[in-house]
Each structure stands twice: as structure tokens, then as C-alpha cells.
Structure 1
Amino acid sequence: MQHPVLACRQVSRLYGARASEFIKDGHITTDNVQTLQEAGITPAIFNVDLDIERGKTFVIMGLSGSGKSTLLRCLAGLTPPSAGQILFESKDLFGFSEADLIQIHRHQMGMVFQHFALLPHLTVLGNVAFPLEIQGRPRAEREEIARQMIRLVGLEGREHRFPAQLSGGQQQRVGIARSLAGDPDVWFLDEPFSALDPLIRREMQAEVIRLQGMLKKTIVFITHDFEEAVRVADRIAIMKDGLVEQIGTAEELLVSPATDYVRAFTRDAPRAHILTARSIMTTPPPAGPFGGEVSATDRVISFARQLDASSLPLAVIEDNEIIGAIDRAMLLDILIGPNAQAVGA
């Protein structure tokens, strides 16, 4: 099995005058968050364990104050953990020398921020080429790479405009192009679209999905929006008060929430866009007849009209065998919820 690009091993970040009293040999000496709080210590993140696979999009989400941005800063090598280890390519990220860590940031990690962070006195071309200038690349080389990135994000023809001459969505595209210019192994996106209007936000989400399909980067994406997470993520970690409540696919979080908090967090999720035929089918399948077939991995939204138009159930197929069935009543449960009447009463 391939080792993860990034991993956390019992990572904690504590704030407070007495924090050092609860750390010994790189580990927290208590597993009780309340004990820390009573001592005036704020556990921004607490005993986090996770693996981030190469080429996958890993979303960390939670409400404000949940610890998601602190965790990202630790993963990116910007904030050292108080305890535990951040592993990058199986090596302790904070065990590198300062010079080596700078090189990792310059050559192997890229970041997109919520508020663009463009340099107002530089053109689009200058902003995108700036990380390459920091790397010491020759001007002709860095401008050629910058032009390639500008074309990649759909801003060709705007190379000589300044940030103030661009829309919010265009500015964020410049930020994306700039972060990709150095061809990073890991791409960090810290609530990159939360400052954008809803329509532009969806366009930018689609842009990340498009780029990921082409580039296959390892992405760590921070958001507080579950629908956004569903669109971009391979796996999702939900955080609350510094703790990771659950890690899984969107479907796993929706079907098998580990805590009441996860259940509440996913309550209004677009179920038809997340759940697959496998997760809602009945087994064993009836003898038939059937009104058609769907793959076990098909999302409900992809066959909802077909099922609604049929008086017969649909057969769920895997490896050319019928493994279950779905009827119209199940579709209704998905679209409006099985307990909708009771909830509204």
C-alpha cells in the first residue's frame, strides 16, 4: 500500500500559559479536553490522526473555531504542533532544517487563500510568475511557465492587467495559477471561495474539479460548507472544538454518522447527489420483473427520473449480477426524507 503524502499522528496544538505542563516527550499527558480547559488551555486541535493519499482531495471542514485552519497550518508546515507528528512523505515535517523547510514550501507546496493575497503593483503575469522569481528561475523561463498557468485557468489575454482591473472570480483564478506555477506536490486551499458570490463560487468549484482531473494533485481543502465539500472531496474530515469527529466519504458520513454532531452537520446535505444505488437498495433482490437497471455506483440523481417514470423497481447491477433493487418509495425517502412528516409535525 502506498504511503500517504501527508499524515497526522496524535497531533495537538495547545494555547495557554500552562500548556507545557501537559506535554511530555512530545505527547499530551491527558486525553481529557475538559482538564486542559480547566487549566486555562485552549486545544485548537487535539489528538488528530489522519492520512492524506497521493492525488486525492481531502476536505477538512467545520464551523468557525473548529480548528480546521489551525490543522491546515500545521499540515502546511507553517505552525508547529505542540505534540504529535506531521509526516510529509513519511518524514517528520518539523524535523527538517529551516532551510529545507523553506525549499519544501517553495517547490513542493502551494497555497490559495480566501482573500486572494495578490500583489497589487504586479500584473497578472507578474503575480503568477512571482513564486518562480523567488525560486531564482530565469525571467524567460518563469514568464513562459506563468503564461501556461494563465492559459490553464482561462485568463489568456489578461496577462498585463492589474488585480484591481479584475473581478473577484478572476482574481481568485490568478491566485490558483500562481499557486500552481511551481508545480507543487501538495496544494492547500484555505476556504478559497468563501468571499465570492454564490454563482462565481460554483464556477470556481468546478474549476478546481477540472484542474484536479487534469493535474491529479494532492489537495487539502478547507471549507465550512458541506455542499462544497461534497462537490470537490474524495474524503472529508469533520471537526468540532479541535477534535476530528469523523473521516469518510460524503456517502459514509451521510449513511453512517459517527456522532450526533456529524448527523446534524449532514442533515441538509443534497442526498440525491451523494447516495449511490448500493447504499439505498433492498437485498436480497426480488425475482422481478424490473423496470430497468442501474449500476451499484450510480448516484440517485442520475436515475431519479427513470425510477419516477416506472411502476416497477429498478435492478441494481454489479459485475453483471443483480445484487439489489430500488423502488419509487425509496426515491421519495431520499428526496424528502423518510421522517419528513414527523419532523414537520
Structure 2
Amino acid sequence: MNDVAKVKLACRGVWKVFGRWAEAFMAGSPSPEALAPDSMAKAGLMAGVRDVTVEIGEGEIFIVMGLSGSGKSTLLRCMSRLVEPTAGEVLLEGKDLLKASEAELIDIRRHKMGMVFQHFALLPHLTVLDNVAFPLAIQKIAKAEREQRAREVIELVGLGGRENAYPRQLSGGQQQRVGIARSLAVKPELWFLDEPFSALDPLIRGEMQDELIRLQRVLKKTMIFVTHDFDEAIKLADRIAIMKDGRVIQIGTPEELVMRPATDYVAAFTRNVQRAKVLTARSIMGPAGGVAAAGAIRAGDKIADVAPMVINAGRPLAVMDEAGAVIGALAPQAVIDTLIGQDVRA
């Protein structure tokens, strides 16, 4: 996370242990040996989340990913307290959610959190407008105000004109847009999305990813997004946390995970990634060497986006930082090597 970004949500040593007497077991300050998976299994316990500490910055798209059973969805539910962590802290703007009363938690969920899941869970007897306005009705907002807000977010997600349609009259992608609009109607500060696009076909899934990126440019929400698809993660993420057996084993930008995987497990996730979609000009540039700023590209530009410009130029192009200073040069051969998949890891 950018050091200057305000921490919106943080986990400190979060555990979720399933089994009888799990709370008593964790409250007894068990030894590292007792916390080993084999030892816990002998005690009839299983840790879905193991000692997770993360910080999520305000306005960040933070992806949690891993294979089935890695603990990613359980971690998301711990963050929102849909599942009660067995130990640790979940801090929303520095306040521990685990110490919030039931009434406080209901208020936080109603006014600060939005949630989107794989299953749309639309109410079939309600129109699009009424489905989107439903959480506002729960808040007892006046009908005119809630319908006005619902119409605004329906327009925002591209469903203007379908307000009076019923879920059965919509495609899968349109139904998911209704789910997204419903979660946005409460103007959440935190947006939890648990594999929201995994049930969609690839074409619609890509369209929904693009839609999410567009919405984020407008809304700048803090998102925690769960997926098992690394291609989806690198398209959406500011940072990614990769989980295995309940633990977070590496957190980094997509570029960092590709260039510097911490373990063989992380390397396996990134092995077949099209690196040109992940790597930036900064990551493969060489020394500036007197290149002119004319035709310069930005350090954060993805190689896939600037490849035609660099290759067609037939010469190195200047790479500029955010302040406009030349910090390096991007050569055509470096771009070609990235496109054909040669290993460019440091």
C-alpha cells in the first residue's frame, strides 16, 4: 500500500478456527506447535484463516485470491463480521469491529458497507427499481428519496430504462448489474465483492470487469474483491494478497508478484500470465542515455499498451515519472522480449 494512503481497513493477527471449543483454545494462548495444522486437526479444530495481518488503503482495490479452500472468502467474511473471527482485530478506521455492539454493527453494515456475492439474490417479485431501493427501505428512507437514489445508481451501472423490468426478464450480466447497483445505493465506504463475476460467461465477465473499473474511476470506493482468477486480479487490482491454507503468503502489486514471487506457489500463479499486461515501462526500462523527451511514455504505462508505439519508433523512447522527469529509456528489444515471454524477472 502507498505509505501516504489512509488505512481504511486493517486486520491484525486474525484467526478463524472451526470446531468445538475453538474460542477457548485460542484464548489459552496456544504454542506455535499446538497451532500447527496437524496438531489442530488432532484436537478436532481447523483454521480457515491463520494469523492474517493486512492493511487496506482508502480508495484501494485490494484483491484476495487463492485456490478453493485457501480461506479467501472466509477472510472477507471476517472483515465484514459476517463470520466472527476467533482471534485478532479487524479495524475500520482504527476502531475494532469485533468490539462493536450488535446495534453498532447493523448501523455500520447499513451505512458504510456494500456487499456483492456470486449469487445475485435478487427478489424475483420486485422490479429492478424496487430491488435496488430495497436496502434503503430497510433504512426507512422515504419512498421518493429512495427511488430517486435508486434511479441514480441504476443509470450509473448502465441499466437506465430497465427500472420496471423483473429479474427473470434480465440477462445474467444485467442481473449482476442490479446486484451492484443495490449495493451502491447505500453509498458504502467499504465495498466487499466475493467472486461476483464467476458465474458469468467469459464475454460478459470481461464486460463487468470493465464496468467495475469505470465505476471505480467515478466512485473511488475502497474495495475488497475475492477471486481465484489471476487474470481478473491483475486487471482490477491495486494490490493482491495471495492465500494458501488460510495464510496470506504474499501481498504486492500485480507487477511485484510477477517479478518477485516470494514462493514457488506464487510463481505458479504467475507462470502463465501475459506479462505485457502486467509489467510497466518502469520495470523493464534501461538507463536514459540521453534520449529525448519527445514521444515519451509514462513509467506506469503497461507494456501491452505502449508496445506498438515503441516498436514502430524503432528506437528507445524516454520514460517519464509522475513529475515529467525522464528516468529511463524503453528499448524496442526489451518490449519484444516481454511480448514473446522471455523471463524479465529481476
TM over 0.5: yes
**Number of paired residues?**
338
Moved over 6 A (4+): 288-291
Q: Which one of the candidate residues 47, 52, 55 is aligned to 2:51?
A: 47
Contact 1:291 1:313 in 2 (8 A): no
Which residue is 2:150 aligned to?
A: 146
Aligned to 1:328: 332
In structure 2, relative to structure 1, the CA distance for the partners of 1:304 and 1:128 (3 Å cut) is same
CA displacement, residues 244-280 of structure 1 (integer Å, 9 cap, x when unaligned) = 0111111111111111111110112221121111111
- 311-320 or 238-247, which deviates more: 311-320
Query: Which of the numbers 18, 25, 33 marks the counterpart of 1:15?
Result: 18
Question: Is the CA contact 2:193–2:223 (under 8 Å) kept in the aligned structure 1?
Answer: yes
| Cα 1:39–1:145 shift into 2, 3 Å | same
Q: For residues 267 and 291 of structure 1, what CA distance do their matches in structure 2 show?
A: 35
- Structure 1 residue aligned with 2:105, among 84, 101, 112? 101
Between 257-266 and 317-326, report the one with greater CA deviation.
317-326
Corresponding residue to 1:227 among 224, 231, 244 = 231
Task: Give 2:298's aligned amino acid.
Answer: S
AA matched with 2:230: F
SS of aligned partner of 1:23: helix
Amino acid at match of 1:85: E
Structure 1: tracts of 5 or more residues without a match = 341-345
CA shift, 1:33, in A, is 3.7
User: Distance between the aligned counterparts of 1:180 and 1:322, measured in 2?
Assistant: 41
Q: For residues 90-125 of structure 1, what are the alpha-carbon distances to aligned partners after superposition, in whole Å with 9 as ceiling and x for unaligned? A: 111020111111111111111111110100111111
CA-CA distance at 1:330 after TM superposition: 1.9
Instruction: Evaluate the alpha carbon distance shift between residue 166 and residue 23 of structure 1 in structure 2; reply closer, same or farther with a 3 A threshold.
Output: same
| Aligned counterpart, 1:314 | 317
Q: Against the structure 1 CA distance between its residues 320 and 133, is the aligned structure 2 distance closer, same or farther, given a 3 Å change threshold? A: closer
1:116 to 102, 120, 125: 120
Q: Once the 2 structures are TM-superposed, how far is the Cα of residue 241 of structure 1 from its aligned partner?
A: 1.1
TM-score (norm. length: structure 2): 0.91
In structure 2, distance between residues paired with 1:325 and 1:296: 10
1:192 aligned to which of 173, 196, 206: 196
What value does the CA root-mean-square deviation take over the aligned residues? 2.2
Q: Distance in 2 between matches of 1:221 and 1:317?
A: 31
The separation in 2 between residues aligned to 1:186 and 1:270, in whole angstroms, is 31
Number of the residue aligned with 2:187: 183
CA distance in 2, matches of 1:154, 1:145: 15
How far 1:289 sits from its partner (Å)?
Answer: 9.0
Residue type matched to 1:337 in 2? G
Take 1:327 and 1:292, find their aligned partners in 2: how far apart are those partners?
Answer: 13
Which residue does the alignment assign to 2:39?
35
Whether 2:293 is the aligned partner of 1:277: answer no
Aligned to 1:332, the other structure's residue is in SS state helix
- 1:297 lines up with 2:316 in the alignment: no
Residue 333 to residue 42, structure 1, CA distance change in 2 (3 Å): farther
Q: Which amino acid aligns with 1:191?
A: E
Tell me which residue corresponds to 1:236: 240
Equivalent in the alignment of 2:7:
4
Does the 8 Å CA contact 2:289/2:329 hold for their aligned counterparts?
Answer: yes
TM-score if structure 1 supplies the norm length? 0.91
Q: What SS does the aligned partner of 1:245 have?
A: strand
Q: 1:165 aligns with which of 169, 172, 195?
A: 169
C-alpha separation between the residues in 2 aligned to 1:322 and 1:107? 45
Q: What is the aligned partner in structure 1 of residue 87 from structure 2?
A: 83
The alpha carbon displacement at 1:331 in A equals 2.0
Could you report, residue by residue, the CA deviation over 1:283-312 in whole angstroms, capped at 9, with x for unpaired residues?
A: x44456999533322221122112323443
For the residues of structure 2 that align with 1:102 and 1:155, how far apart are their CA atoms?
A: 29
Against the structure 1 CA distance between its residues 102 and 313, is the aligned structure 2 distance closer, same or farther, given a 3 Å change threshold? same
Amino acid at match of 1:296: A
Q: Which deviates further from its counterpart, 36-45 or 4-13?
A: 36-45
Pair 1:89–1:29, CA change in 2 (3 A): farther
Mapped to 2, the partners of 1:24 and 1:255 lie a distance apart of 40
Provide structure 2 residue ranges, at least 5 long, that are not aligned to the other structure: none
Tell me how far apart the structure 1 counterparts of residues 44 and 304 of structure 2 sit (CA, whole Å). Answer: 49
SS in 2 for 1:11: strand
- CA separation of 1:14/1:311 partners in 2, compared to 1, >3 Å: closer, same or farther? same
1-side partners of 2:229 and 2:113: how far apart?
Answer: 24
Change (3 A) 1:20 1:104: closer
- Percent identity at matched positions? 56
Asked if 1 retains the 8 angstrom alpha-carbon contact of 2:275 and 2:341, the reply is: no
Structure 1: distance between partners of 2:52 and 2:213: 27
The equivalent of 1:66 in structure 2 is: 70
Does the CA-based 8 Å contact 2:122-2:131 persist in structure 1? Answer: yes
1:16-42 CA distances to partner (integer Å, 9 max, x unpaired)? 2353464136x6542534432443422
Q: Secondary structure at the residue paired with 2:334?
A: helix
* Equivalent residue number for residue 253 of structure 1: 257
2:194–2:225: 8 Å Cα contact kept in structure 1? yes
Deviation at 1:230, TM superposition (A): 1.4
Q: Secondary structure at the match of 1:7?
A: strand
